[in-house]
Amino acid sequence: MELERLAVLVEAVRTGSLAAAARRLGLSPMVATRRLAALEDDLGVRLMHRTTRSIALTPEGEAFLPHAQMLLEDAAIARASIRPVGDGISGVLRVTASFPFGRKILGPLIVDLMRAHPDLRVDLLLSDSIVDIVAQGIDVAVRIAVLQENGLIAQRVGESPRGLFAAPCYLAEQGMPRTVADLAHHQCLLITGTSHWDFSRSGSRRVKAAGRFTASSVEALQQACLGGLGIANLSTWYVQDEMRQGLLVPIELADGAPEPLSIWAVYPTRRLVPPKVRAFVGALAARLQEVQRLA
């Protein structure tokens, strides 16, 4: 059973089409189709229903897919075991993260990583929506959140401290809040669909927040905050430059501070974590420690 044929099946399921699988594998669509047909002939069953617009696994394909994935992983492990020490940080690394984190943290990090490893290529997908990393063929996703159980592997790589911030002009007009209760008398800038902020000091507490402006992106909240529309709850790494320039003022409350979030490296369930992923995750953890020292 040829591994190249198995790779077509696995990539077709991951990407949702044979054409996309062919592009990922560097094949022509005709060659990919022939390899899948040869695999089906070898097994004596049809693995996949396919039209020009869609594909769907047959019951036999559903049963065979995990075994195909395992065979490809075993082959990768075997290859890695005989490579010289230090080799393997090469090929395409596909990473996804939010727009703010990608621009502030990952952009400079990836430049340094690629300079250190000339054989490494990076495909960076920035999105403020949760990306299906299995379907999109992503190697590692960076997420700042409380993670839900979803069958993926998650490694905590750092913490994202948060704070309340406002422009000097807003505080000059509205005054500086001193306690959590004072926020009820201020304009709070919120992500669309949220109505509370979480605080911690002596235990956790959830506080209702309200204001005239909401937005679906952190970048829009930051711009509204800079424009003096209200108080925003933002990650400190995101506004370090604005704080240094005096464009935003941190607000410290006597009885609470915004609850920090964990930063996670998330990758598909697999037994082999490629060297390029390990190198990226290690560099990210080190960079986050550096950012926190400078905060």
Same domain, 39 and 175: no
Is the residue at 273 inside a domain? yes
Distance of alpha carbon 133 from alpha carbon 139, whole angstroms: 7
The two three-digit tokens of residue 246, written as one number:
């005096």
Domain-terminating residue out of 54, 81, 108? 81
- Which amino acid, 77? I
Is the domain of 105 the same as that of 249?
no
Q: Are residues 200 and 55 in the same domain?
A: no
Same-domain pairing of 134 and 151: yes
Q: Give the CA dihedral 230, 263, 91, 25, nearest 10 degrees.
A: -80
Written as one string, the DSSP assignment of 169-219 is HHHHHH----SGGGGGGS-EEEETT--EEEEESSSEEEEE---S-EESSHH
Q: Is residue 143 assigned to a domain?
A: yes
Same domain membership, residue 153 and residue 34:
no
Question: Do 126 and 254 fall within a single domain?
Answer: no
Model pLDDT, residue 82: 61
Residue 83 carries which side chain, given as an amino acid letter? R
Same domain, 67 and 111: no
Looking at residue 103, what DSSP letter applies? I
Per-residue model confidence (pLDDT) at position 230: 97
Angle at 190 between CA 243 and CA 259, to 5 degrees: 65
CA distance 4 to 1: 9
pLDDT for the residue 71: 86
As given in the structure block, the two tokens for residue 198 are 């979480």
- 34 with 105, same domain: the answer is no
Q: Tell me, what CATH number does 245's domain have?
A: 3.40.190.10
Tell me what pLDDT residue 85 has: 52
The reported pLDDT for the residue numbered 154 is: 86
Q: Report how many domains make up the chain.
A: 3
Specify whether 233 is located in the same domain as 284.
Answer: no
**Strand arrangement, sheet containing 204-208:** 204-208, 196-200, 257-258
Q: Which domain holds residue 67?
A: 3-81
For 29, other C-beta atoms within 10 Å of its C-beta total: 14
Of 295, 289, 154, 157, the closest CA to residue 234 belongs to 295
Residues 168 and 233 occupy one common structural domain = yes
Q: Is the pTM of this model over 0.85?
A: no
Half-sphere exposure of 222 (CA within 13 A, CB side): 17
Q: Are residues 178 and 246 in the same domain?
A: yes
User: Distance (Å, rounded) from C-alpha 293 to C-alpha 240?
Assistant: 12
d(CA 111, CA 270): 27
CATH number at residue 64: 1.10.10.10
Q: Could you tell me the mean pLDDT of each successive run of 10 residues in the chain, 295 residues long?
A: 88 86 88 92 91 82 89 74 63 92 94 93 90 81 75 84 96 95 95 91 78 94 97 95 96 91 84 83 92 74
- With respect to residue 74, please indicate whether it lies within any of the assigned structural domains: yes
* Domain final position from 34, 61, 81: 81
Scan for tokens 């037994």, then name that residue: 271
Side by side, the strands of the sheet bearing 91-97 are: 120-126, 91-97, 140-144, 261-267, 153-160
Asked whether residue 60 falls in the same domain as residue 110, the answer is no
Q: Is residue 86 part of a domain?
A: no
